[in-house]
């Protein structure tokens, strides 16, 4: 009771979009926090959230209910202009990070007025909530859509402490921080020399083993069964799609006929593009040739859309890297095996790379181990391969701010004009064992072990047709039974959230003194 009384004034605004958020909210509620919830779930799942008796929200807002407003209303451009100035947020930049609003939407091309209406509705919605409750903290998932990015940026501008979970780039290790994929107070943390037991490169490399395997569908046992995929599709096709469903802007243009034709088209494209890949992408290559490795990113993906938003065109990035190579080097570009989930890329994309004279395009099955062991440098937009490179004693180049940017062997590109010089300096640099030991030691001290996919994969498998659909109704008893079975894992997550809150409080007291 005393614990709750001490925390009574701490309000947490909780952005919830998966059922596990309920148990996490319950943990925080049990530790004395007032919980307010923005719920962002589709219609069938919304019923489950409304019926749940797991966490008691002080107040909830269902985001999608507030976004089905008429698109014939006049846009208040003055409000948007003032909003940008007041909070120093570049709204168009956020729009271009959204996979639904731009480029990746197969069902609807949003026009200028539709986008501005969505932006205005979203901005007013979040601004009003923050003004109403004035939360001390906002729990938010990794921002990967426009509206989540906007809430994230708005909280930052208003000085509200953000709590977000992201990977520590090691299997089953995570951090909670204000900025996704960055440690809080990174400069001060890494400025302190930490005495640690030195490990060899081989010992350090062992820490990165199974990084991909730990999140691979085949390892998690999801999205593999065609039988379950068909069941999920028919559930979506007959249970989800209705007139109300189509009012939310994510679903504009989605009719049963369009969805069916699109799925057939995806199947054919996957087959034809796969045939092209197997015929034209190299499965064998001369590893004795000096080369720089560029691993293609999965698209759409946050690492290109948000982290390095001015380098989303990977063809152009590859071309810039190829221009910057020393004359005796080649650029080896490897396709990402997970891109098959999105039906591979257009054959025209691959053909443009194949036409570049000092570039070789590698098959997705090519061994990463062989490439990392033999390359001179890794160039990546923001991917983990640039981090893994250090464990193979290889420097790297990145085009966005990432968790491992503090490593001296990681070279950040900020302007393209600097790329040739950065390339030259990076190729001449070495990975120092002391630097890597120092970084790993600090990262492990400031992260924690959490089997995140051990929570999410069983939930997806049990309720969401292996991840082939996101809108289902889950009876309260079934939901509670599942969350109880994962309570110990989710409690670890909750305890780390509270630790981070206590860190913020200590920092506030220190700053006030």
Q: What is the mean pLDDT of residues 492-507?
A: 93
Q: Rounded to two decimals, what is the model's pTM? A: 0.92
- pLDDT bin (cut points 50, 70, 90) of residue 249 is very high
- pLDDT bin (cut points 50, 70, 90) of residue 303 is confident
pLDDT at 423 over 70: yes
pLDDT, one tens digit per residue, over 392-418 is 999 999 999 999 999 999 999 999 999
pLDDT at 216 over 70: no
How far apart CA 181 and CA 142 sit, in angstroms, is: 9
Q: Return all residues near 387 (Cβ < 8 A) that are at least 6 apart.
A: 169, 396, 402, 403, 404, 407, 410
Question: Of 233, 273, 250, which Cα lies nearest the Cα of 107?
Answer: 250
Give the model's pLDDT for residue 506. 85
Q: What is the mean pLDDT of residues 320-334?
A: 98
Least reliable range by pLDDT among 6-10, 47-51, 69-73, 397-401: 6-10
pLDDT, one tens digit per residue, over 87-129 is 999 999 999 999 999 999 999 999 999 999 999 999 999 999 9
In this structure, how many other beta carbons lie within 10 angstroms of the beta carbon of residue 306? Answer: 25
Give the model's pLDDT for residue 481. 97
Question: Of 45, 54, 18, which Cα lies nearest the Cα of 473?
Answer: 45
Tokens of 13: 């605004």
Q: Pairing relation of β-strands 448-449 and 173-177?
A: antiparallel
Q: How many CA atoms lie within 13 A of 200 on its CB side?
A: 2
Give the model's pLDDT for residue 5. 47
Q: What is the mean pLDDT of residues 321-332?
A: 98
- pLDDT bin (cut points 50, 70, 90) of residue 302 is confident
How far apart CA 500 and CA 506 sit, in angstroms, is: 10
pLDDT, mean over the chain:
92
Give the model's pLDDT for residue 495. 97
Q: Which long-range contacts (CB under 8 A, 24 or more apart) does 192-198 make?
A: 193/438, 194/438, 194/441, 194/442, 194/445, 196/437, 196/438, 196/441, 198/433, 198/434, 198/437
Q: Percent of the chain scored above 70 by pLDDT?
A: 94
How far apart CA 8 and CA 193 sit, in angstroms, is: 39
pLDDT at 159 over 60: yes
Q: What is the mean pLDDT of residues 365-379?
A: 97
Sign of the dihedral through C-alpha 38, 42, 47, 49: negative
Q: What is the mean pLDDT of residues 309-337?
A: 96
- Cα→Cα distances 384→4, 19, 25, 397, Å: 40, 28, 30, 12
Q: What is the mean pLDDT of residues 141-156?
A: 94
Give the model's pLDDT for residue 73. 81
How far apart CA 356 and CA 330 sit, in angstroms, is: 10
Q: What is the mean pLDDT of residues 135-139?
A: 96
pLDDT at 497 over 50: yes
């Amino acid at each position: 009771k005393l614990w709750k009384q001490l925390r009574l004034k701490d309000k947490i605004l909780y952005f919830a979009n998966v059922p596990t958020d309920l148990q996490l909210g319950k943990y925080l509620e049990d530790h004395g926090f007032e919980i307010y919830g923005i719920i962002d779930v589709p219609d069938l799942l919304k019923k489950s959230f409304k019926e749940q008796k797991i966490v008691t929200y002080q107040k909830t807002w269902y985001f999608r209910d507030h976004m089905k407003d008429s698109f014939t209303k006049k846009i208040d451009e003055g409000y948007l202009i003032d909003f940008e100035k007041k909070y120093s947020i570049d709204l168009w930049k956020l729009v271009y990070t959204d996979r639904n609003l731009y480029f990746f939407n197969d069902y609807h091309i949003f026009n200028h007025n539709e986008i501005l209406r969505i932006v205005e509705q979203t901005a007013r919605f979040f601004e009003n909530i923050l003004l109403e409750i004035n939360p001390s903290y906002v729990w938010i998932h990794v921002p990967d859509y426009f509206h989540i990015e906007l809430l994230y940026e708005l909280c930052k501008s208003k000085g509200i402490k953000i709590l977000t979970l992201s990977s520590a780039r090691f299997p089953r290790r995570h951090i909670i921080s204000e900025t996704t994929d960055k440690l809080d107070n990174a400069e001060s943390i890494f400025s302190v020399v930490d005495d640690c037991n030195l490990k060899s490169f081989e010992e350090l490399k062992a820490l990165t083993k199974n990084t991909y395997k730990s999140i691979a569908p085949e390892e998690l046992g999801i999205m593999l069964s065609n039988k379950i995929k068909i069941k999920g599709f028919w559930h979506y096709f007959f249970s989800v799609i209705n007139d109300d469903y189509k009012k939310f802007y994510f679903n504009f243009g989605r009719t049963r006929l369009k969805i069916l034709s699109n799925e057939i088209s995806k199947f054919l494209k996957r087959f034809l593009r796969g045939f092209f890949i197997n015929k034209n992408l190299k499965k064998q290559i001369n590893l004795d040739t000096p080369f720089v490795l560029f691993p293609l990113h999965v698209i759409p993906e946050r690492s290109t859309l948000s982290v390095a938003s001015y380098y989303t065109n990977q063809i152009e990035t590859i071309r810039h890297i190829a221009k910057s190579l020393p004359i005796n080097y080649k650029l080896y570009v490897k396709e990402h095996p997970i891109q098959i989930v999105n039906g591979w890329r257009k054959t025209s994309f691959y053909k443009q790379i194949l036409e570049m004279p000092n570039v070789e395009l590698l098959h997705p099955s090519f061994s990463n181990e062989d490439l990392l062991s033999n390359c001179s440098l890794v160039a990546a937009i923001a991917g983990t391969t640039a981090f893994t490179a250090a464990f193979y004693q290889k420097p790297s180049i990145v085009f966005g701010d990432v968790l491992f940017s503090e490593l001296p062997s990681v070279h950040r590109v900020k302007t393209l004009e600097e790329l040739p010089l950065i390339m030259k300096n990076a190729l001449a640099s070495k990975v120092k064992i002391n630097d890597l030991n120092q970084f790993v030691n600090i990262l492990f001290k400031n992260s924690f072990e959490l089997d995140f996919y051990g929570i999410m994969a069983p939930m997806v498998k049990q309720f969401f047709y292996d991840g082939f659909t996101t809108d289902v109704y889950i009876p309260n008893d079934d939901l509670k039974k599942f969350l109880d079975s994962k309570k110990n894992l989710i409690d670890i997550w909750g305890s780390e959230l509270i630790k981070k809150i206590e860190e913020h409080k200590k920092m506030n007291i220190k700053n006030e003194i």
